[in-house]
Amino acid sequence: MGNIIYLDNSSTTKPCEKAVENINIALEKLWGNPSSLHLLGVQAEIPVTEARESVAKLLSCRADEVYFTSCGTESNNTAVFGVCSSRKKRGNRIVTTAIEHPSVLEAFRKMENEGFEVIYLKPDKNGVVSAADIENAVNSSTILVSIMLVNNETGAIQPIKAAADAIKKSGAPALLHCDAVQGFGKMPINVNSLGVDLLSVSGHKIHGPKGIGALYMKKGVTLPSLLVGGGQEKGMRSGTESVPLIMGLAGAIDELGNINDNLKKAKDLWLYAKDKLIATGLVAINSSREALPYILNISVEGYRSEPLLHFLESKGIYVSSGSACAKGEGSYVLKEMGLSSHLVDSALRLSFSRFTEKAEIDALCEALTQATQRLRRVK
């Protein structure tokens, strides 16, 4: 593809060298079934165990609280459907936000169609739901609260600990689930400090392969499994474990380095990008200064997202459109934040990785200036 500037890391990331190396080793040498009792099975099981420990270390939890899944969506679905199924006799209210990833929102809508009372919390102008709204939404009949750690479009960090406190204060029989896909590997996460019972992560957002995720499930929590069969993952997810993908995830974790150092670099890059973009005189910033600095949502008001995206692509710069629907509807996240239709229609999401450089931001700013000179302004 030649030299590209990739600023769509919240969508997916390029697999890192260690991830690819581990996958190849698994495919070529560790191809046994990790459930088999013979030597080839044991050899395949060892890296699966080590990978589980690596994920647990990042989440500050026990290794036996980590269950491998195929992706963040499966982890989210398992949590939402599992809690609703296992606790429906204890209450009928479930609480989430209006800005969740579709894998949570669509699961809640399905539960709403099945008779559950669903509360959708709205964010403020910075994209954050308030602790007070969470507390008001949780009552004695609440069985599930599901709130994302980091919003995938704006980077807004949500008050997860406040949700845990609200559940405790209310005495509700609720479990707390957190979609941490966008925060995993990018910010320190301690499941005990957050107070969560369930937490979802994914591999391909941190330079691991697609097709691998994990669900943290607090010791003592039990959920019905979505997949039954051979009883893998302690009965939670039957099906032969994908050793190559699991090892790929472990390789990505190995290459992360120091998360706090990476976060500091990302913040510096985020501020640089914000200032450079504002200096063009073309851009409005939709992300809060308190957002996770791997995501910067902007609007080039007066120019629709899709033509901008494709113009940038022609320059070898890859970003994400603010449009969340193939039918051309604007981002529901930005709408829920109260942004005008003009800002929503012209939104772009820039998402960085630890490999993103300031020179790439300079090139983006130059290309955006060219785009506004060549594209037709929309009234």
- Rounded Cα distance, 221 and 65, in Å: 10
Does residue 243 contact residue 33 with C-beta atoms inside 8 Å? no
Among positive and negative, which fits the CA dihedral 41, 44, 46, 50? negative
Does residue 310 contact residue 258 with C-beta atoms inside 8 Å? no
Q: 336 pairs with which residues across the strands?
A: none
**3-state helix/strand/coil string of 169-201:** HHCCCCEEEEECCCCCCCCCCCHHHHCCCEEEE
- Rounded Cα distance, 210 and 262, in Å: 22
132's CB contacts (< 8 A; 6+ apart) are none
Give me 343's structure tokens: 């800002």
- State yes or no: is 325 an active-site residue: yes
Catalytic residues: 325
